[in-house]
Amino acid sequence: MDHPILTIVVPCYNEEDVLEDSILQLDQLLMNLEEEGLISDKSKILFVDDGSKDDTWRMIYKETLKGGRIRGLKLSRNVGHQHALLAGLFSAKTTSDCVISIDADLQDDIHVVRDFLIKFHEGYEIVYGVRSNRDSDTFFKRSTAQSFYKLMNIIGIDLVYNHADFRLMSKRAIDELERFEEVNLFLRGIVPLIGLKSTQVYYVRNKRLAGKTKYPLKKMIAFSFEGITSLSVTPIRLVMVVGFLSFLISLVFGCYFLALKFFGHTTTGWTSLITSIWLIGGLQLMSIGLVGEYIGKIYKETKRRPKFIIEMDTLNLPIPRHLIN
């Protein structure tokens, strides 16, 4: 493929502060890549508005009307980064040979897009952008992220270390991704399951251009938990193991106390009694909670609700005439 059509997909949620800059920089990037002959002049940038409450959609739409490389996809409400990204990928693949996903704040170095494309030309179907260091993160984010990757590894989930959602996927890879129908979505755990010819490209992650992170601690923890429980049943197995161990321990103690009763003298062990009640009670509650989490996930999956609803798509559908002006 000499000049593949590339679409860059950019999920945006309340990004009015950075949008102008990212539009400018990404547009310039595509122009350079076109001049270099790495991509077709039909290549586009698709901004996905994930139900923003600020001026984001108006800004995207205004750019779209100029008829350049910018296109917009408006979701009917906020569905979260992962689903917004998915909406963008599915819409983009219909008109592209390859798609690159990147965040609106351009924390990921857009200059490695060129390296992504060179790998695509070499025949790779998926190219993962991997951070070579995390200097731009706070110490807290760095260490929690590291523990997260380690934990995922221990419980047997195959993640590309230090890779977020900055990657290139061929149309073929996205077609395969579409067959993973799960509603509980953790893309960076699912994409490696596609297989196909994949490689990694390293880059240095910058600070946010402007605006605030949409992933505060609470959301980050929820997202990690989602990642673990939607990709692995190891935690639930672990609960079983813990349950079994505590059953064994209670057997041993039971025998010991019986032996004391018949052959020694029993002292009323209030402390040990109350401790074990609390311990077992806590374990039981925790286990029920975890089982509930999985049941909740199954419940969500069985409903087969749409993952996103598109309100307007200026990439694949004609722009409604009454909206022009």
The residues that touch Mg ion, with contacts defined as CB under 5 A, are 103, 105, 107
Q: By C-beta, is 69 or 214 nearer to ligand UDP?
A: 214
Handedness of CA 233, 238, 243, 244 (dihedral sign): positive
Task: Determine, following the binding rule CB under 6 A, whether residue 81 of this chain makes contact with ligand UDP.
Answer: yes
Task: Determine, following the binding rule CB under 6 A, whether residue 299 of this chain makes contact with ligand UDP.
Answer: no
Task: Determine, following the binding rule CB under 6 A, whether residue 8 of this chain makes contact with ligand UDP.
Answer: no
Task: Determine, following the binding rule CB under 6 A, whether residue 278 of this chain makes contact with ligand UDP.
Answer: no
Exposure on the CB side of residue 117, measured as CA atoms within 13 A: 25
Task: Determine, following the binding rule CB under 6 A, whether residue 63 of this chain makes contact with ligand UDP.
Answer: no
How many Cβ atoms are within 10 Å of 302's Cβ, its own excluded?
9
DSSP state of 96: -
Helix (H) or strand (E) holding 11: strand 6-12
CB of 260 to ligand UDP, least distance (A): 57
Task: Determine, following the binding rule CB under 6 A, whether residue 132 of this chain makes contact with ligand UDP.
Answer: no
Extract long-range pairs of 21-25: CB within 8 Å, 24+ residues apart. 21/106, 21/209, 21/210, 22/104, 22/105, 22/106, 22/209, 23/47, 23/59, 23/63, 23/70, 25/106, 25/110
CB of 126 to ligand UDP, least distance (A): 20
Over the window 101 to 120, marking each residue x when it contacts ligand UDP by CB under 6 A and - when it does not, the resulting string is --xxx-x-------------
Which listed residue (7, 8, 9, 15) binds ligand UDP by CB under 6 A? Answer: 15
Q: Is the CB of residue 213 less than 8 Å from the CB of residue 15?
A: no
Task: Determine, following the binding rule CB under 6 A, whether residue 9 of this chain makes contact with ligand UDP.
Answer: no
- Cα(239)–Cα(245) distance, rounded to whole angstroms? 10
- Cα(167)–Cα(117) distance, rounded to whole angstroms? 11
> Which residues between 169 and 228 bind ligand UDP (CB under 6 A)?
213-215
The interface partner of residue 214, options being Mg ion, ligand UDP, none and the CB cut-off 5 to 8 Å by kind, is ligand UDP
CB of 162 to Mg ion, least distance (A): 14
Which listed residue (5, 30, 84, 87) binds ligand UDP by CB under 6 A? Answer: 84
Task: Determine, following the binding rule CB under 6 A, whether residue 59 of this chain makes contact with ligand UDP.
Answer: no
3-state helix, strand, coil in the chain (%, to 5): 50, 15, 35
C-alpha pair distances (Å), 18 with each of 56, 313, 315: 10, 22, 22
Interface residues toward ligand UDP, by CB under 6 A: 11-13, 15, 50, 78, 80-81, 84, 103-105, 107, 213-215
